[in-house]
Amino acid sequence: MPATAIERVMARASGAPSLRPGEVAVCTIDRVVLIDLQFRAFNGWVRPLKIDDPARVAIVFDHAVPAPTIDDANAGVEARAFAAAFGITDVVDVGQHGICHQIVAERGWARPGEMLVCADSHTCAAGAFGCAARGLGPLEVLQVLCTGRTWFTVPETVRYELRGSLPDRVGAKDVFLHLAATYPTAAENRAIEFDGDGVGALPMHERRTLATQGAELLADFTLLPCDDVTRTALAAAGSADDLEPLWSEPGAGFAFEATVDVGALGPQVALPDGVIDNAGPVADVGRIAVQQCFIGSCANGQLEDLQVAADILRGRKVASGTRLIVTPASQAVYLAAVKAGIVATLVEAGAVVTHSACGACFGYDLGLVADDEVCLTASTRNFRGRMGSARGRIYMASPATVAASAIAGEIVDPRSVEVHP
């Protein structure tokens, strides 16, 4: 029987001739990514005695960097000592740091047909490169460190065929929000495949947004096909040699299929407390005043996202009573944004541009939401208490919608604002 992409990748990784949904696959993992928060667990009570293959391991400082607490500072010390003890050379420390999924893309660690794990729930971001990637708990990651392998239940697959191309000021974030509203639980505990000419028309930064947000569609894995866009991105990262992409075979069976005309979509907004069955066109939201706007995270802190915001904000000011916080996804993105004049444009408009970290996205530091405040975010999640007070209300939208709303002081359609590139 023809196999889906995730079945083929897991079969290769486990050495099985074939696999079907519901079977258990013990897979060899090609890349293990550790983040700084993992070392808060290691520090003081657990550390492995051996690592299966240090060359397959990377450490990325991303959630709490530079260290905002003493515990985080101590975890950094442990991370550096851990790398030295086990001969891990892929260490992305303070100064070169960035959100781990951005770093994975920049370093070419996600490769088509391979498997990657990390102790972060948005690890599915690597699926933009055709890599089967999943977030695991810290102890599960520890198991992979020691053995090089872990087990998965082979999931069913959902296939979304995208057609057309994105209209002006509509992005992959809007596609994701449309899927969350239209097919709210179709992907739950399954793998998602995105395919169709609409995927071919997506640049890599939009593919990465779409893959990242698979976690909020409740999927185990998100996969996009390997094509010329993929190969070009991997070549830029120095990782385009010896690729062995795998994709679904003709006639493969899917648990659910749907076709989406992305060219017919407009800007979308998720209402507070989650995205599943809780999003719709920005025009349906009404005029909601916002006290904080955020652009950043592994989903929308890429250079292109910052450029979209700068084009809208150029020559304008953030509304009085509204804060705009922008977090580049990595130091490399930050530097490129400085050289391109993007940071100057954002700051002149009244935005606060932070260093590259996860802090604001998960409500740790870099700008928390207060009691009864409204935040419009272009980050990954908007459940209650995600970005600060549990009494705050968090709406989610694209960088274009967030930037336009920061100027208006209320949620607005970004197409209502003239762009000045």
Domains of the chain from N-terminus onward:
5-239+253-262 (3.30.499.10), 268-416 (3.30.499.10)
How far apart, in whole angstroms, are the C-alpha atoms of residue 5 and residue 247? 4
- Residue 44's pLDDT band (cuts 50, 70, 90): low
Q: Give the H/E segment covering residue 166.
A: none
Spell out the alpha helix ranges (H) of 59-203: 70-86, 100-107, 138-147, 172-182, 197-200
How far apart, in whole angstroms, are the C-alpha atoms of residue 75 and residue 392? 30
Q: Are strands 268-270 and 323-326 parallel, antiparallel or unpaired?
A: unpaired
- What was the pLDDT predicted at 47? 75
Supply the angle between the helices 204-212 and 303-313 in degrees, to the nearest 10.
100
- What was the pLDDT predicted at 45? 58
Q: What number of other Cβ atoms are within 10 A of residue 87's Cβ?
A: 10
How far apart, in whole angstroms, are the C-alpha atoms of residue 196 and residue 160? 8
| Cβ atoms 198, 211 nearer than 8 A | no
Residue type, 268: Q
Q: Is omega for the bond preceding 267 within 30 degrees of 0, making it cis?
A: no
How far apart, in whole angstroms, are the C-alpha atoms of residue 211 and residue 370? 30
Confidence check: pLDDT of 412 > 70? yes
Which one, of 337, 326, 312, 311, lies nearest residue 407 by Cα? 312
Q: Name the region of 226 (left: φ>0; alpha: ψ -120 to 50; beta: rest).
A: beta
Structure token pair of residue 14: 């486990």
Q: Which residues pair with 323 in a beta bridge?
A: 292
Mean pLDDT of the chain: 96
How far apart, in whole angstroms, are the C-alpha atoms of residue 351 and residue 349? 6
User: Strand, coil or helix: what is 358?
Assistant: coil
- What was the pLDDT predicted at 43? 63
Q: What number of other Cβ atoms are within 10 A of residue 5's Cβ?
A: 28
pLDDT tens digits for range 216-262: 999 999 999 999 999 999 999 999 999 999 999 999 999 999 999 99
pLDDT tens digits for range 181-224: 999 999 999 999 999 999 999 999 999 999 999 999 999 999 99
| Cβ atoms 361, 334 nearer than 8 A | no
- Residue 287's pLDDT band (cuts 50, 70, 90): confident
Phi, then psi, of 380 in degrees rounded to 5:
-100, -25
